[in-house]
């Protein structure tokens, strides 16, 4: 009896893993937004970025990205993406590391966080809106379009 239960559990686990892997995919995209450095009287700058990632299953992914905020400031991020699918919408949080570079000054490592929502238009194309904090005194709000392979 125990042997049959173990086989049944193994088959269910294998089927679940296969189903979870069916949503996995590579994706790449570009974003545009506005950024604000706190303590600068609300001065806002346009941001432009690119990103690529891999969605392991419905809930977990990994992403790298590069964003340029002005001619003298940029950051590179490596992050984990945690999401919950709700029909075509997917609210998410991103947590990871960020490397900020100010022109003429050595770079600085730090933690980053973001919250957003993704809308999957079809199987390949999606759009997302995000509020990110690549460092404690800096905020970026952006809209992006991405393509899944």
Domain boundaries, the chain: 25-148
How far is Cα 127 from Cα 142, in angstroms, rounded to an integer? Answer: 11
How far is Cα 87 from Cα 17, in angstroms, rounded to an integer? Answer: 21
Whole-number pLDDT of residue 23: 59
**Contact status, residue 100 vs residue 129, Cβ threshold 8 Å:** no
| Stretches in the chain below the pLDDT threshold 70 | 1-24, 39-42, 106, 136
Tally of CB atoms within 10 A around 54? 15
Whole-number pLDDT of residue 134: 74
Whole-number pLDDT of residue 30: 98
Rg (CA), the chain: 19
Whole-number pLDDT of residue 7: 54
Whole-number pLDDT of residue 22: 47
In this predicted model, what pLDDT tens digit does every residue of 90-133 receive, in sequence order? 999 999 998 888 777 767 788 899 999 999 999 899 999 999 98
Determine whether domain 25-148 maps to CATH 2.40.160.20: yes
Whole-number pLDDT of residue 39: 63
Whole-number pLDDT of residue 103: 75
């Amino acid at each position: 009896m125990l042997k049959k239960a173990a086989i049944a559990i193994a088959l269910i686990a294998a089927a679940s893993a296969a189903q979870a892997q069916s949503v996995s995919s590579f994706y790449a995209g570009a974003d545009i937004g506005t950024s604000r450095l706190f303590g600068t009287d609300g001065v806002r700058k346009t941001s432009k970025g690119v990103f690529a990632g891999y969605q392991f299953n419905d809930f977990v992914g990994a992403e790298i990205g590069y964003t340029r905020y002005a001619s003298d400031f940029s950051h590179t991020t490596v992050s984990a993406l945690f999401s919950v699918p709700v029909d075509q919408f997917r609210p998410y949080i991103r947590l990871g590391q960020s490397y900020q570079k100010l022109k003429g000054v050595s770079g600085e490592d730090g933690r980053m966080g973001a919250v957003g929502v993704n809308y999957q238009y079809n199987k390949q194309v999606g759009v997302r809106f995000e509020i990110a904090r690549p460092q404690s005194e800096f905020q970026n709000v952006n809209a992006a379009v991405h393509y899944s392979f």
